[in-house]
Amino acid sequence: MQSPQDWPPVPDALRPSPFPHPVLHALHGLARVLLFPAYWALDQLLGCWAPMARPSCLKWLSAAARAGAAFLLLVLIGLPLALPGLLLWQLLQTWRRPFCYQPPPQYWAPPEPWRPPAEPARCFSFLSANLCLLPDGLARFSNLQHTQRRAEAVGASLLAGLQSSHYGTMGCSPPGPGAPCGVLTATMPAGLDFVCLQEVFDLRAARRLVSRLAPSLGPVLYDVGTFGLQPGPHLKLLGSGLLLASRYPLLRAAFRSFPHARREDALASKGLLSAQAQVGILNGHRIVGFLHCTHLHAPSEDGSLRCKQLTLLLDWAEQFEAESRHSDEAVAFSVLLGDLNFDNCSLDNAQEQEHKLFSRFQDPCRLGTRRDQPWALGTILNTSRLHHSVACSPEMLRRALEQEEGRHRYLAGPPHGGRRTKPWRGRRLDYITYRRVPGSPLSPEVEQVTFSTALAGLTDHLAVGLRLRVSIPWESRHAGDSCEAGWKDRQGGKT
Backbone angles phi, psi at 395, to 5 degrees: -70, -40
Angle at which helices 22-49 and 57-73 cross, to 10°: 150
CA distances from 164 to 161, 188, 191, 288, 319 (A): 8, 11, 6, 24, 36
Nearest residue to 66 (alpha-carbon basis) of 45, 36, 39, 38: 45
Dihedral of the CA atoms 426, 432, 436, 437 (nearest 10)? 130
Report d(CA 216, CA 487) in Å as an integer: 36
Compute how many other C-beta atoms are within 10 angstroms of the C-beta atom of residue 448: 18
CA distances from 220 to 113, 224, 276, 280, 428 (A): 19, 11, 13, 19, 26
DSSP 94: G
Counting beta carbons within 10 angstroms of the beta carbon of residue 86, is it exposed (0 to 12), middle (13 to 18) or buried (19 or more)?
Answer: middle
Coil, helix or strand for 210? helix
Report d(CA 384, CA 455) in Å as an integer: 17
Find the catalytic residue in 292, 295, 461, 478. 461
DSSP 436: P
Catalytic, 461? Answer: yes
Report d(CA 134, CA 148) in Å as an integer: 10
Q: How far is CA 458 from the centre of its chain?
A: 16
Report d(CA 284, CA 301) in Å as an integer: 51
Counting beta carbons within 10 angstroms of the beta carbon of residue 90, is it exposed (0 to 12), middle (13 to 18) or buried (19 or more)?
Answer: middle
β-pairing verdict for 285-295 and 271-282: antiparallel
Report, as residue numbers or ranges, the catalytic residues.
461
